[in-house]
Structure 1
Amino acid sequence: MSPAADGHAVAGKPFGVRFVLPIALGSCLNPINSTMIATALVPIATEFHAGVAQTGWLIAALYLCCAVAQPTLGRIADLVGARRVYLVSLVLVMIAGIAGRIAPSLGWLVGVRVLLGIGTSGAYPSAMRLFRERADATGSPPPRTAMGVLSLMGVATSAVGPVLGGVLTGMFGWHAIFTVNVPLALVTFVLVFAWLPKDAPRHARRSLWRELDLPGIALFSGALLALMVFLLDIDHPQWLALPIAALLGALLAWHSLRRADPFIDLRMLGRHLPLSVTYLRAALAFTVVYCIFYGFAQWVEGAGGYSAAQAGIATVPLSILAGVASIAGARTRGLRGPFLLAFGCSVVGGIALLSIHAASPLWLMAAAVALFGVPQGLVSVTTQAAVYVQAPAGQMGTASGLQRTFSYVGAMAATVVIGLCYGHRPTDQGLHTLALVMAAVSGLLLVATIFDRTLPRADELSTSHP
């Protein structure tokens, strides 16, 4: 797109279809890869003779990688341009899709998930940066509707992920959940290249590598990895991993406070308490969301004896509610109400899961889990709106990446909770224990949100960020 053509588009309709569609499509790649694998975990475990803890690395590897890659690529987008980061990340997704098709071992597959994590991490922080640049250039208020479309696409694909994963696995085998990334990323690449305006030239004062804070990235990655090594094999704990994680975390804090522009900006988080609270809320809320994504499908297949496709079908009502909730959340002016509704539904959903068991009919299982679609749809879009208002304008890419980082911390926590509740295999008792944990966390979030005074008011969401 030429600068003249883009200028005309900005003057006419800054957030039209040609601008929003390529952004929304790419932002679907991460959530759909996060959830498609839910119904394929049992077939993969069977083929590679792996247990719950081993296949848990297929989940944790992607989120561990995303937790690091999202703020890193967000920082790069702030520095060198969001469109450039976006295009490179789509190429990585295509490569991962091909590599997943030929995976000969579980270890190879974990590596593919790492590459997918890096590739799919570029879209969301790039999208938020592009939204911010366009809004600032036109003097527009926060593009709540456009961001709602972004969130709706992400939530919808997250919700449909288990269904799609189940159908693909049932028809073509589990390899298909990786191969499908190739056409999805290719179509998105073409649209981004054709429709999104080129980035402005970069005027660097120093090298990109110095600005990225590689020591900070390494310390953060090492601390998370050491913690996950301990937590994902809690039955045979690697005790040495705990002090290593603590040491690396302490070094990260020391390093971050000494550096002017660190990877994890603790000073920014300290100065912007509302943003820090938003991140913490996201981590806890997504722990509950991902417990359902992975825990429910594994239980339906492992304890209920249903196929991957049937397990996916059982999530259809949840998916429908998630889509409806996401649309409603994008049209809501305030934030407190959507959060309260989300956490209230999570509490009721956790109680509903206590009423089902392995011999229950599939329709009853689907009904029991359906209410979790409401937090899935509302939490994402509402958190996104909060971050847009609370984050510093010049650090929007980094702040948006950190939002996803805390969400992925929740996803990794969910894999640990599932492992602790299920043990070696999913059982009714394990599901009921998981339900109680989810209900307790949701109840805590509900009470905390009632008394939270850091949430932006409705009028703050309808004006431009200072």
Structure 2
Amino acid sequence: MDVRSRKLLIAVGLGILLNPLNSSMIAVAIPRLQHAYKLDYTAVSWVVFSFYLASAIAQPVMGKASDLFGRKKIFLAGLVVSFVSSMLAPLSPSFGWLVAARVAQSIGTSMMIAVGMAIVRIHVTEKQATALSVLSMFLSGAAAIGPFAGGVLLDRWDWHALFIVNIPFVAASFLLARHAIPEDGPAAESGKLSMRKWAARIDAIGILLFTAGLLGLLVGLLSIKSSGHASFRNVAIGSIGLVSLAVFARHELRTPSPFIPLRTFAKYPAMTWVNVQFMLVNLLFYALFFGIPSYLQTVRHVGEFHTGLLMLILGVCSLVASPFAGKWIDRSGPRPALITAAMLMLLGSLWLVMLGESTPVIGVGLALAAFGIGNGLNAVGMQAALFRSSPKEIAGVASGLFLTSRYLGTILSSLLTGMIMGGTFSFAGFRLLGVFLAAIALVLVLMNLRRSASAPAAVVRD
């Protein structure tokens, strides 16, 4: 690999790590933000939910936008948006402004995620597999170290530092990317597209209906839980959300270029099962990922630094398990690893239920280790299961749906946690969350055992 390729790899890596870093650092800042803005737990959870919803929409849209404007321009524009949002977020006069800054930050970092892998695949021609594995390390490493980095920053400074820390990464990536990423023009046909045709290509109507549906449903449900009663306004908002999602589903079945190709789910049931499982896996993982730090800080009064240190167990176990998972899956297929992962998550969830208010804090590390190893197995196993259940001719669509399932799982995790906790994060609520997670993990175990029995029939032959 020559010097230019290495610079390009570093430039892209420094850019794409910002999305997982910022989505994970915030986990240890929830109690601090509650105190800073005088909000309840449900309200402050929007700083998490908004980031994932924006990422779910922005990444596929920006991938298509790169055809119109060019990948380098999208990548550099993402860095500019990330820089501006990271500068403005610490100055937010209200929580609403902070959420808006988080949405902008999510869009900016998603622009780089959407085109970063493609840039490396196109312009790094030597040792391409090694280059892509390095990018994966940037992504997984940032997600793993995020809570620890957030804990250190909160311990030394305040929540504002979680945004300011992005600026050196953005600056370094921008300076390298300007020179290391070759210019690439837009696709020839893209220059002839009108705004109307471009909106049809990205399915702007579908995106708006999907966004309105999720927002309406979540605002309605969380408002009912937070206020303690079902007012006409809350029910109306939730109903609008449900209607919007129903209209969205009808629209997606009819439009020639759907945002989420729902017909594919019906056509390939084995792939659909994989996506459902992946959604549940992420629901489990992220409910724990954001629930544990709040439990440690709010219930056990553990400082941010030590909370981040404990959360490092989750990331390290996940990173260590992944290469072993690869060898195991190459030898035995994905199903044994997925069954083991589901059982580990079930054990971890049951351990949360058994935690007491005076249980040694290090005991939390057992649940984190179980979930971390399970996540490492799932990261490789679910991808392998996707490859086996989807034909090569729809590889791009399958990957897009897989990513959508991940984000739906993260969004549902925020909804589940908010619905259980309501306005205040409590020990009783945390144990109830553990019960729900154990039930979901049990469903995953049963699903994997069922799919294991029918695995030969589920494999798509090329």
Deviates more, 1:38-47 or 1:205-214: 205-214
- Partner SS state of residue 354, structure 2: coil
Summarize deviations over 1:18-67 as a string: whole Å, max 9, x none.
56544444332222111111111111110111000110111111112112
Partner Cα separation in structure 2 for residue 389 and residue 192 of structure 1: 36
Q: Identity over aligned residues, as a percent?
A: 29
Partner Cα separation in structure 2 for residue 255 and residue 210 of structure 1: 12
Partner Cα separation in structure 1 for residue 70 and residue 307 of structure 2: 41
Residue of structure 2 equivalent to 1:4: none
Residue 232 of structure 2 corresponds to residue 257 of structure 1: no
Matched ranges for 1:125-136 at <5 A: 125-130=114-119
- Counterpart amino acid of residue 341 in structure 1: T
User: Which of 284, 290, 295 is equivalent to 2:291?
Assistant: 295
Alpha-carbon spacing, 1:400–1:199, altered in 2? closer, same or farther (3 Å): farther
Partner Cα separation in structure 2 for residue 150 and residue 428 of structure 1: 39
Residue 22 of structure 2 corresponds to residue 33 of structure 1: yes
Residue of structure 2 equivalent to 1:344: 343
- Partner SS state of residue 121, structure 1: helix
Deviates more, 1:287-296 or 1:342-351: 342-351
Residue 209 of structure 2 corresponds to residue 219 of structure 1: yes
Deviates more, 1:260-269 or 1:47-56: 260-269
Matched ranges for 1:185-204 at <5 A: 185-204=170-189
Alpha-carbon spacing, 1:26–1:378, altered in 2? closer, same or farther (3 Å): farther
- Counterpart amino acid of residue 304 in structure 2: A
Residue 138 of structure 2 corresponds to residue 153 of structure 1: yes
- Counterpart amino acid of residue 93 in structure 2: P
Partner Cα separation in structure 1 for residue 384 and residue 121 of structure 2: 12
* Shift of residue 224, structure 1, vs aligned partner: 1.1
Deviates more, 1:43-52 or 1:29-38: 29-38
Matched ranges for 1:406-445 at <5 A: 406-445=405-444
Partner Cα separation in structure 2 for residue 381 and residue 144 of structure 1: 16
Count of residue pairs brought into register by the alignment: 446
Summarize deviations over 1:98-151 as a string: whole Å, max 9, x none.
01121221111111111112112223332454466579x89x9xx776555444
Q: TM-score, with normalisation over the residues of structure 1?
A: 0.85
Summarize deviations over 1:331-353 as a string: whole Å, max 9, x none.
54343233223212111111222
Deviates more, 1:157-166 or 1:442-451: 442-451
* Shift of residue 82, structure 1, vs aligned partner: 3.7
Alpha-carbon spacing, 1:38–1:323, altered in 2? closer, same or farther (3 Å): same
Preserved contact between residue 302 and residue 425 of structure 1 (Cα < 8 Å):
no
Preserved contact between residue 83 and residue 167 of structure 2 (Cα < 8 Å):
yes
Partner Cα separation in structure 1 for residue 388 and residue 122 of structure 2: 14
- Partner SS state of residue 232, structure 1: helix
Preserved contact between residue 67 and residue 187 of structure 2 (Cα < 8 Å):
no
- Counterpart amino acid of residue 354 in structure 1: V
Residue of structure 2 equivalent to 1:90: 79
Partner Cα separation in structure 2 for residue 74 and residue 397 of structure 1: 12
Preserved contact between residue 148 and residue 381 of structure 1 (Cα < 8 Å):
no
Residue of structure 1 equivalent to 2:48: 59
Partner Cα separation in structure 2 for residue 384 and residue 13 of structure 1: 32
Residue 308 of structure 2 corresponds to residue 305 of structure 1: no
Matched ranges for 1:32-181 at <5 A: 32-77=21-66, 80-130=69-119, 147-181=132-166
- More relative contact order in 1 or in 2 (CA 8 Å, sep 6+)? 1
Residue of structure 2 equivalent to 1:372: 371
Summarize deviations over 1:399-443 as a string: whole Å, max 9, x none.
545433322221121122212333333333222221121122122
- Counterpart amino acid of residue 350 in structure 2: I
Alpha-carbon spacing, 1:368–1:252, altered in 2? closer, same or farther (3 Å): closer
Residue of structure 2 equivalent to 1:3: none
Alpha-carbon spacing, 1:20–1:84, altered in 2? closer, same or farther (3 Å): same
Which runs of no fewer than 5 residues in structure 2 stay unpaired? none
- Partner SS state of residue 239, structure 1: helix
Matched ranges for 1:275-286 at <5 A: 275-286=271-282
Partner Cα separation in structure 1 for residue 285 and residue 167 of structure 2: 27
Residue of structure 1 equivalent to 2:321: 325
Alpha-carbon spacing, 1:259–1:456, altered in 2? closer, same or farther (3 Å): farther
RMSD: 3.3
Partner Cα separation in structure 2 for residue 351 and residue 230 of structure 1: 30
Preserved contact between residue 218 and residue 238 of structure 2 (Cα < 8 Å):
no
Partner Cα separation in structure 1 for residue 93 and residue 159 of structure 2: 13
Partner Cα separation in structure 2 for residue 299 and residue 280 of structure 1: 28
Residue of structure 1 equivalent to 2:193: 206
- Partner SS state of residue 354, structure 1: helix
User: Which of 215, 222, 230 is equivalent to 1:232?
Assistant: 222
User: Which of 169, 184, 195 is equivalent to 1:184?
Assistant: 169
Preserved contact between residue 77 and residue 397 of structure 1 (Cα < 8 Å):
no
Q: TM-score, with normalisation over the residues of structure 2?
A: 0.85
Alpha-carbon spacing, 1:37–1:327, altered in 2? closer, same or farther (3 Å): same
Alpha-carbon spacing, 1:133–1:371, altered in 2? closer, same or farther (3 Å): same
Partner Cα separation in structure 2 for residue 421 and residue 239 of structure 1: 18
Preserved contact between residue 300 and residue 358 of structure 1 (Cα < 8 Å):
no
Preserved contact between residue 70 and residue 404 of structure 1 (Cα < 8 Å):
no
Residue of structure 2 equivalent to 1:267: 263
Preserved contact between residue 325 and residue 381 of structure 2 (Cα < 8 Å):
yes
Summarize deviations over 1:204-259 as a string: whole Å, max 9, x none.
25333342221111111111111111232232341112321222122222222222
- Partner SS state of residue 224, structure 2: coil
Partner Cα separation in structure 1 for residue 326 and residue 156 of structure 2: 35
Residue 312 of structure 2 corresponds to residue 316 of structure 1: yes
Matched ranges for 1:5-24 at <5 A: 17=6, 20-24=9-13
